[in-house]
Homo-oligomer: A and B are copies of this chain.
Amino acid sequence: MTKTIPVSVGIDLGGTSTRVGVFNPQLEMLRSESMHTQVSAGPDAAVKLMARTIDSLLIGAEGVRYEAVGIGIGSPGPINLRDGILGKLPNLPGWDGFPLRDRLEEATHLPVHLESDANAAAIAEWKLGAARDLGVDSIGMLTLGTGVGSGFILSGKVWHGIVGMGGELGHAVIKPGGWLCGCGSQGCLETYTSAQGLVRLAREVAESDEGTSELRNALVAPDHTTPQKIGLLAGDGEPAARRVFDGFGEKLGIGLANLISTLDLPLIVVGGGVASAWPFFADAMFGAIRDNSLVYRLAMPRQVATFEQDRTFVCPAALGSSAGLIGAALLPFMNEAGADVPAVHMA
């Protein structure tokens, strides 16, 4: 006899790879597939490939039939979430203006819930990750990766901003006149606290009086493994690498201080690949938060009562690189269960 299981399909669309996963209502991943995102083949080809992959993943197991309730997809931003249309995406050149939501619905005949990848990660950390047992209905999440993404849950709803961009804390300026950012502004948080920012900070230290041959060696022919190399050095206690993370933590702390001052949020989760270096930058980060935020200094004593200690309201992410995929998979279940994360919450 065949048993039917309701499942949700999550998709994490990235500039390099795309992950598709099938999840049960307990958000356990039943099956998944990862594929190269063929950006130059264009979005229509990508949607076709997604649809085929979903079809194959939805073939049930022995005695089990999967019944998909819907698809959740997290995409790099900016997105016009109201209309389900992609914006001008640095990592998906040529895809701007593509009506991703509608095309994926047409290709799969399933309801599609589109979110920015940063918001999807925030939802996952809120419901199943770092915020899971804290009972908060508002969190901010920063994803420190190639860039710096941000997602907000405010009063139990994903914050989408005017047309779904939902804010880009990575492009808040923490040092007017500072490093030039790819966005055209100067001194954006992202220029210091992304993977690339870390490498740039490392180069600055390497070329200074505090530079060491170890750090300089790690920066010869820098590639995507360079941040890990700097992290390994810091883990060994190498002083120049520790200095790099001090500077990184200080810049991150200023950005977080301003977020706390602006919104007085109960919890901020820091995720993304670079966040794995948390032990190396946390002290400098908390120091800078305290130094730069009156609201943090005032709120600290009261938060003791809510959470574990006076500082844990800024904490590392719990779900690692799967947060975006899990968050995407959550969307169909949440919308089905009572729309506690409806599509758009603003004018």
Instruction: Say yes or no: is A175 at the interface (Cβ < 8 Å to chain B).
Output: yes
Q: How far is the CB of A179 from chain B (nearest CB, A)?
A: 13
List chain B residues, Cβ under 8 A from A160. Answer: 264
Q: Which residues 138-185 of A have a CB within 8 angstroms of B?
A: 138, 150, 152, 154-155, 157, 159-163, 165-169, 171-176, 181, 183-185
How many copies the complex holds: the figure is 2
Instruction: Say yes or no: is A262 at the interface (Cβ < 8 Å to chain B).
Output: yes
Given that A154-B159, A172-B258, A176-B175 are known contacts, is A167 also in contact with B295, CB under 8 Å in the complex? yes
Instruction: Say yes or no: is A292 at the interface (Cβ < 8 Å to chain B).
Output: yes
Q: Is the CB of B299 within 8 A of A163?
A: yes
List chain B residues, Cβ under 8 A from A186. Answer: 291-292
Q: How far is the CB of A338 from chain B (nearest CB, A)?
A: 17
Q: How large is the interface on A (under 10, 10 to 19, 20 to 34, 35 or more residues)?
A: 35 or more
From A136, A150, A168, name the one whose CB has the most chain B CB atoms within 10 angstroms. A168
Question: From DSSP, what is the main secondary structure of chain A's interface residues?
Answer: loop
Given that A87-B298, A159-B154, A291-B185 are known contacts, is A167 also in contact with B347, CB under 8 Å in the complex? no
Q: How far is the CB of A165 from chain B (nearest CB, A)?
A: 5
User: How far is it, in angstroms, between the C-alpha of A295 and the C-alpha of B170 when the chains are bound?
Assistant: 10
Q: Which of B87, B183, B257, B347 contacts A173 (CB 8 A)?
A: B257
User: How far is it, in angstroms, between the C-alpha of A110 and the C-alpha of B169 when the chains are bound?
Assistant: 43
Q: Is the CB of A298 within 8 A of B78?
A: yes
Q: Is the CB of B294 within 8 A of A168?
A: yes
